[in-house]
Structure 1
Amino acid sequence: MQPLNIEFNEQHKAKYLQLAQALRSAIIKGDIAVGTKLSSAREMAKIYQLNRHTIMNALQLLVAEGWIESHERSGYKVIQTLPIQSSADIKQVPTVTPKPYKFAKELAVPTPAMNLNNFKYNFAGGLPDLNCFPYREFKRSVSYVFNHLDTSQFHYGNVAGELNLKSQIGSYLHKARNLKTTDLLICNGSQEALFLISKVFINNGDYVATETLGYPPARKAFSACGAQLIDIKQDEYGLCVEDLKAQLMSNKIKLLYLTPLHQYPTTVTLSPTRRMQIYQLCYQYDVLIIEDDYDHEFHYRCQPLQPMAADDPAGIVIYLSTFSKIMFSAARIGYICASAQVIEQLSAWKQLMNHKNDVVMQLAVANFMQEGAFERHLKRMTKLYKERYEQMSASLIKLQSNGLPIEFKKPDGGMAMWVNLNKPVHGLKNALQKKGVYIQAEPEFYYKEAARSLIPKQQSYIRLGFAGQSTQSIQAGLELIAKHVY
């Protein structure tokens, strides 16, 4: 074999790898033909001025990859059947036209994640202040997990969640929401919860009812699983019971999706009377209610109403919530409360998807709750968010006093406000982003296939989150918005 001209000049790459790469490349190009006997390791060591062990390592790598073979007493030869279709004998690789993929159901391309840190004024609704989370305190809970390690918990199993965390959440829900849980499932946030529920209950063509203005990711989950969506009218007090009744009489609706404590996006709290009327209708027409209680903790003017699931004698409410608003979304801790039969089916589907949640995170959050740090953090954040809630209200009132036609109703709680600018908001979101301001605008909360009669011609509302930025930023950001709009 003729020596190769090899320059060993890659400082951060082992020399045996550089030699193997050079020999491999020569074989692929046909410079070393199939069946060629290679020089002995001793000769190659002299030629390339390398240690014999370096040569042997390179040759053994090529043997493992299938480029050469070792013969006792006769040394190494290039293998007769190469593991590729490139050699000196192949003159041209035929042109191949890729065929289109046959997806079972093609979804829209995922929306690129937006870096909200790029905005000077961030009014994203439902965004907690991540700078205020007690990371050092939580780190102690993570350390506790590894200092008291039970390796059996690191195996497959406990699909529905670690018992420690389920117990802590169950106690917390009973204490804070008067919700007694028979069983619950830990999942990767509320979106996985919505998708699991959809897979369990929705057959192709089933009807799912949602409010006309609603949470887009929920609609996408229902639709992706084959649901036909029906929009229910809303008024200033929330979902319209009469329209729900009319739709139930006209369509075989299987599921009703609600955000009754702080309606998404309008922040309206559904009254006890309407809740009872909705519950009775759903029971009468055999409809399950999905109650998404995404930010129950943050209520400022009064005690929050207990969830619909807390008074559910018929067992028709599937309750879900998340720690994303209390902690941070990257923790991926959500949960579903429902009857044992429902949890069993949800768990079976979850096992098909991803087996279980991050065990270390589950155990750390369980310890965080058990030690009281969770509730201490929650109290601090509720106090802080109330200050920002008051600042948002005061800043909006100040703009009103300056003669601007802004209208809003101060909600009882939540992390955002629904504000009527009395000006068309189409294109406003993109325009403000160029000025370093992030908002959510009314058009993005309608279902694109909703009945045109339910969507007003003039859309003038924006959703302004106040929890994730300082009172100074809230005031300055609102002034910038007003200056642009008016």
Structure 2
Amino acid sequence: MHPLDIQFDDTSKAKYLQLAQSIRAAIIKGNLAPGTKLSSARVMAQTYQLNRHTIMNALQLLVAEGWLVSFQRSGYCVTESLPIESSVNSRGTPKLVAKPYQFSQQLKTPQTMELNQYRFNFAGGLPDLACFPHKEFKRAMSQIFNYLDVTKLHYGDISGVAELKLQIEHYLHKARNLKPADLLICNGSQEALFLIAKAFVGKGDFVACETLGYPPARKAFAACGAQLIDIKQDDEGLCVDDLKAQLECYPIKLLYLTPLHQYPTTVTLSPTRRLQIYQLCYSHNVMIIEDDYDHEFHYRCQPLQPMAADDPAGIVIYLSTFSKIMFSAARIGYICAAPEVIAQLTVWKQLMNHKNDVVMQLAVAQWMKEGGFERHLKRMTKLYKQRYEDMDSCLTALQAKGYPIEYIKPDGGMAMWVNFNRPVEHLKKALAQLGVYVQTEPEFYFKDGVRSLKPDKQSYIRLGFAGQSSEKMQQGLAVIIKTLYLSK
């Protein structure tokens, strides 16, 4: 073997590893052909000024990896079984080229929101993290470690630790009149939606959604093979007559709803329509997914109890999240449904990631048990109500100044759906350059459905008020007004 040009200049890596890496690279490039006999360890030690044991360690590593074979009393050779000759050209450089990847479907690269790049953030479901009681929650987490049952750190508890499930069940009974037969803890509501889609949706199945809806939910259904059917909505929510018409046209399997604060329009679905929708879905054998993503924040009156609280047929799959109460990084959401449904979802959960963060679950359970959860919820409800009133006052003042702004003050939630009566197709990008984050009407339509009801005129903006101070909200609104009405 001719000596290889090896530079031992990586001080962070042992020399025998550097030697092995160089020989391996020479084999891959075709500089050492299959069957080539290497120099003896003594000669290599002299050539590279290394200890003989260093040489032997490198050679034995390459034998173990299958690059070399060792013959008693005759030394080391490059293995004959490597397909090196077919993968290099006459110059010794690789001929292999990348081939197209055979994905089941080509998904778009996700767009993530970097909060620190915006001075003003009107994200619709963004809590104010500065107000979270970090020290209090840290004490709850410390207490968990002081008395940790280490057996809980093993596999098991796929549906969630018993302590957290018990606390959530108590909370749901007290706050929402919901008595779940069983529940499943998930890594946020998005995993919950994907689990439901995997369990119920086959390729070509029909899923009905409100015309304006939550994009990640629609994407989860579509990724699992669903064909989406838009159902008309008005100022009172989902249109029952249109739902009936579509149920007669298509064998719809699931209906996805956000009945308390419709996403994104914030409309609360009336008890009458809820009952009509339930009866229609029952008669057509349709499961209802009730996404109650921000139930806690309702200001004008007590929030309506979930549809799942009165579900004698067991056709409602109820899901919610702690992301709006705590923070999204906690990754705690949950599903309540009939035991047979929870059982199937739990099997899918095990296939996906087996279980959630046990320490976080136990810490949240401890925090809830000590009363910290409800104290924080009361503080944030009071704060968000004030910001809700401040945004209403600010929008009313803008109307008084003659700006053509229209909106219906919602009963609750963390955002308002505002018609600025100006085209908003390109507004998001323009405002982002000015340090303002908004969500505009075009984002909430799904264009690839079987029935997509996207209007020509799009002039609404979803303005979140919870995640920033009232002062920042006013300053950000001033930038929006200037961009929409005063800029050329």
Distance 1:264 1:87, change over 3 A: closer
Cross-structure match for 1:338: 337
Deviates more, 1:298-307 or 1:82-91: 82-91
Cross-structure match for 1:10: 10
Distance 1:200 1:36, change over 3 A: closer
Deviates more, 1:156-165 or 1:439-448: 156-165
Q: What is the CA-CA distance between 1:262 and the residue it aligns to? A: 0.4
- Kindly provide the amino acid, as one letter, of the partner of residue 111 in structure 2: P
- Kindly provide the amino acid, as one letter, of the partner of residue 20 in structure 1: A
Matches within 5 A, 1:11-410: 11-27=11-27, 34-40=35-41, 44-45=44-45, 47-70=47-70, 74=73, 76-81=75-80, 83=82, 85=84, 91=90, 95=95, 99-104=99-104, 106-410=105-409
Asked whether the 8 Å contact 2:70–2:77 carries over to 1, the reply is: no
Provide the C-alpha distance between the structure 2 equivalents of 1:468 and 1:59, rounded to a whole number of angstroms.
60
Matches within 5 A, 1:456-475: 456-475=455-474
Q: What is the CA-CA distance between 1:476 and the residue it aligns to? A: 0.3
Deviates more, 1:456-465 or 1:140-149: 140-149
Provide the C-alpha distance between the structure 2 equivalents of 1:258 and 1:89, rounded to a whole number of angstroms.
58
Counterpart secondary structure, 2:228: strand
Asked whether the 8 Å contact 1:28–1:87 carries over to 2, the reply is: no
Q: What is the CA-CA distance between 1:97 and the residue it aligns to? A: 6.1
Counterpart secondary structure, 1:378: helix
- Kindly provide the amino acid, as one letter, of the partner of residue 276 in structure 1: L
Asked whether the 8 Å contact 1:68–1:76 carries over to 2, the reply is: no
Q: What is the CA-CA distance between 1:453 and the residue it aligns to? A: 8.9
Deviates more, 1:222-231 or 1:423-432: 222-231
Q: What is the CA-CA distance between 1:465 and the residue it aligns to? A: 0.8
Q: What is the CA-CA distance between 1:8 and the residue it aligns to? A: 2.7
Distance 1:259 1:53, change over 3 A: same
Counterpart secondary structure, 2:63: helix
Distance 1:330 1:83, change over 3 A: farther
> Residues 76-133 of structure 1: CA distance to partner in whole angstroms, max 9, x if unpaired?
42334264616999636785565544444x2432323232321111111101122332
Q: What is the CA-CA distance between 1:60 and the residue it aligns to? A: 3.1
Structure 2 gaps of 5+ residues are none
Provide the C-alpha distance between the structure 2 equivalents of 1:447 and 1:90, rounded to a whole number of angstroms.
50
Provide the C-alpha distance between the structure 2 equivalents of 1:97 and 1:44, rounded to a whole number of angstroms.
35
Counterpart secondary structure, 2:260: coil
Asked whether the 8 Å contact 1:30–1:87 carries over to 2, the reply is: no
TM-score by length of 2: 0.90
- Kindly provide the amino acid, as one letter, of the partner of residue 433 in structure 1: A
- Kindly provide the amino acid, as one letter, of the partner of residue 18 in structure 1: Q
Distance 1:75 1:150, change over 3 A: farther
Distance 1:53 1:380, change over 3 A: farther
Deviates more, 1:330-339 or 1:107-116: 107-116
Provide the C-alpha distance between the structure 2 equivalents of 1:68 and 1:232, rounded to a whole number of angstroms.
66
Distance 1:397 1:367, change over 3 A: same
> Residues 131-180 of structure 1: CA distance to partner in whole angstroms, max 9, x if unpaired?
33233333333333433333332333222222121111111111111110
> Residues 276-298 of structure 1: CA distance to partner in whole angstroms, max 9, x if unpaired?
22222222333221110000111
- Kindly provide the amino acid, as one letter, of the partner of residue 14 in structure 1: A
- Kindly provide the amino acid, as one letter, of the partner of residue 166 in structure 2: S
Counterpart secondary structure, 1:108: coil
Structure 1 gaps of 5+ residues are none
- Kindly provide the amino acid, as one letter, of the partner of residue 66 in structure 2: G
Counterpart secondary structure, 1:344: helix
Provide the C-alpha distance between the structure 2 equivalents of 1:179 and 1:209, rounded to a whole number of angstroms.
25
User: What number of residue pairs does the alignment pair up?
Assistant: 483
Counterpart secondary structure, 1:266: coil
Q: What is the CA-CA distance between 1:316 and the residue it aligns to? A: 1.6
Provide the C-alpha distance between the structure 2 equivalents of 1:227 and 1:335, rounded to a whole number of angstroms.
23
Distance 1:286 1:485, change over 3 A: same
Provide the C-alpha distance between the structure 2 equivalents of 1:21 and 1:107, rounded to a whole number of angstroms.
36
Provide the C-alpha distance between the structure 1 equivalents of 2:108 and 2:88, rounded to a whole number of angstroms.
43
Identity of aligned residues (%): 68
Distance 1:146 1:398, change over 3 A: same
Asked whether the 8 Å contact 1:266–1:417 carries over to 2, the reply is: yes
Distance 1:164 1:429, change over 3 A: same
Counterpart secondary structure, 2:145: helix
Distance 1:144 1:482, change over 3 A: same
Deviates more, 1:149-158 or 1:300-309: 149-158
Deviates more, 1:305-314 or 1:125-134: 125-134
Counterpart secondary structure, 1:357: coil
Asked whether the 8 Å contact 1:29–1:86 carries over to 2, the reply is: no
Deviates more, 1:148-157 or 1:306-315: 148-157
Provide the C-alpha distance between the structure 1 equivalents of 2:79 and 2:89, rounded to a whole number of angstroms.
15
Provide the C-alpha distance between the structure 2 equivalents of 1:77 and 1:459, rounded to a whole number of angstroms.
73
Q: What is the CA-CA distance between 1:442 and the residue it aligns to? A: 1.0
Distance 1:110 1:30, change over 3 A: closer
> Residues 29-56 of structure 1: CA distance to partner in whole angstroms, max 9, x if unpaired?
6666745353335x65555444554444
Distance 1:19 1:441, change over 3 A: same
Provide the C-alpha distance between the structure 1 equivalents of 2:147 and 2:212, rounded to a whole number of angstroms.
47
Provide the C-alpha distance between the structure 2 equivalents of 1:185 and 1:268, rounded to a whole number of angstroms.
28
Asked whether the 8 Å contact 2:414–2:465 carries over to 1, the reply is: yes
- Kindly provide the amino acid, as one letter, of the partner of residue 215 in structure 1: Y
Provide the C-alpha distance between the structure 2 equivalents of 1:357 and 1:30, rounded to a whole number of angstroms.
47
- Kindly provide the amino acid, as one letter, of the partner of residue 40 in structure 1: A
- Kindly provide the amino acid, as one letter, of the partner of residue 473 in structure 1: K
Provide the C-alpha distance between the structure 2 equivalents of 1:103 and 1:71, rounded to a whole number of angstroms.
44
Matches within 5 A, 1:439-454: 439-449=438-448, 454=453
